[in-house]
Amino acid sequence: MRSPTTHSPPPSVEQVDTRQLEKLAGYNVRRASLAVMDRFATHMQQHDLKVASYSVLSLIAHNPGITSRQLCATLAIQPPNLVGIINELDARGLLQRLPHPTDGRAVGLHLTKDGAALQARAEATVDAMEDEATQHLSAAERKTLIRLLQKIYR
Amino acid sequence: MRSPTTHSPPPSVEQVDTRQLEKLAGYNVRRASLAVMDRFATHMQQHDLKVASYSVLSLIAHNPGITSRQLCATLAIQPPNLVGIINELDARGLLQRLPHPTDGRAVGLHLTKDGAALQARAEATVDAMEDEATQHLSAAERKTLIRLLQKIYR
DNA sequence: TATTGTTATACTCTATAACTATA
DNA sequence: TATAGTTATAGAGTATAACAATA
C-alpha cells in the first residue's frame, strides 16, 4: 500500500502484467512468428537468401514449370512483389524461364543446376533450423502444433 | 537432359505441391500469423485502432503508470516507433502522460475516461474475434496451441 | 557514464493502378 | 473481356544514429 493519508503520487509499474494479451491465441501466434522469421532470416544469410526467396526456390524445386501466378497464389504474394524476387534469382543464374507449353502469356520457372544445388543446401539448413526452433517440443507436440495452426489459416 | 530426338515441351504444373513448406512449423506459424493479423486489423478498424495501438492501449489499461520503455520491452517495439503511436492516442484524448513518481526522465502512461471506455469496447471485440478465429478449435486445443507457441518464442 | 524519450532518417515489406501481350 | 507478367509508385512497418534531459 502506498501512503494512505498523504496525497499519493501517480502509481508506477514494476512487473508488467501481460496476461490479457498472452491469453489471446492471436498474440501468441504473432510473437512466435516474429521469433521464427528472425531465426529463419539469420540462417538464410549464409545462402544470400531472404525468407521469401527461399520459399520461391523451394516451390520451384518441387514444382518445375510453376508459373508466377501460381507462386503468388500459393504464397499470398502480390504479383508486383514477386517480380524482384524472380529477377534476382534469375540474375544469380539460379533459375530459368522457359515458355509455358500451353499458355503463351505464362512463363514456366525451372531451377538451373546451380539453383538446385543451392536449394538443396538451403533446405538442409532449414531442416536443421526447424529442429532447433522446435527443440522444446516433442515430435508429437510439433505435429499437433502444425495441425492446430492449419485449422486457423486454412 | 533435353530430348535429343522428339523435343518435348517444358513441363507444366496443375496442382502445386506445398508439402515441403507445410511440414515446417515456421511456415505454418507465419501463415497463421498473417491470417490472424489480417482479421485483427479488420476488426480494429471500427475503433480506429491499429494492432499495435490496441496492444499499447491494453497494456496501459492493465498497467496504469507503465512507461514507454516498458512498453517497448514488452511488445518488442523500437522506442522511435512507439512515439507516433503514443502521440496519436494522446492527441485523441485517450491517454494521459503523468510524471513518473521516482524517475524524472520517465513518464507514466494512464488511460483517460474515454481511453478506458474505448479500450473496454475494443477488448470485447477482440474476445469475440478470438472466438471466431479459433472456432475450429476446442477449448483444450486452444490452450494447447498457446502453450506450444510459447515454447517457441519464450 | 548510462538511460528515457525524442527527432530525423532509411530500409524493408506490402499494396494499388495501369500498361503489354496473349487468351 | 479476362488473365499473366510487368512497371511505377505509395504506403506501412521496422531499423539505426544521434540528441537533450535526467539518473
Model confidence over A42-82: pLDDT tens digits? 999 999 999 999 999 999 999 999 999 999 999 999 999 99
CB-count exposure of residue A136 (10 Å: 0-12, 13-18, 19+): exposed
Protein CA B80 to sugar C1' D19 (Å): 13
Q: How far is A125 from chain B (nearest CA, A)?
A: 12
In this predicted structure, the answer to whether residue B5 has a pLDDT above a threshold of 60 is no
CB contact, 8 Å: B41 with chain A?
no
Whole-angstrom distance, CA of residue B64 vs CA of residue B95: 10
Cell numbers placing B23:
511440414
Region B84-102: what's the mean pLDDT? 98
Whole-angstrom distance, CA of residue B147 vs CA of residue B82: 28
User: Chain B residues with CB inside 8 Å of A65's CB?
Assistant: 10-13
Whole-angstrom distance, CA of residue A149 vs CA of residue A127: 19
Q: What is the pLDDT of residues A82-100, one digit of tens each?
A: 999 999 999 999 999 999 9
Q: What is the pLDDT of residues A106-133, one digit of tens each?
A: 999 999 999 999 999 999 999 999 988 8
CB contact, 8 Å: B140 with chain A?
no
Which of A7, A18, A30 to probe the B interface (max B CBs under 10 A)? A30
In this predicted structure, the answer to whether residue B12 has a pLDDT above a threshold of 80 is no
Q: How far is A115 from chain B (nearest CA, A)?
A: 16
Nearest CB neighbour to A16, from listed B18, B59, B153: B59
- pLDDT of B54 reads 98
Say if residues A66 and A60 touch (Cβ distance below 8 Å): yes
* Chain A residues 78-107 with a CB less than 8 Å from chain B: 98-102
Q: Which of residues 100-119 of B touch strand C (CB under 7 A)?
A: 100, 103, 105-107
Whole-angstrom distance, CA of residue B41 vs CA of residue B33: 12
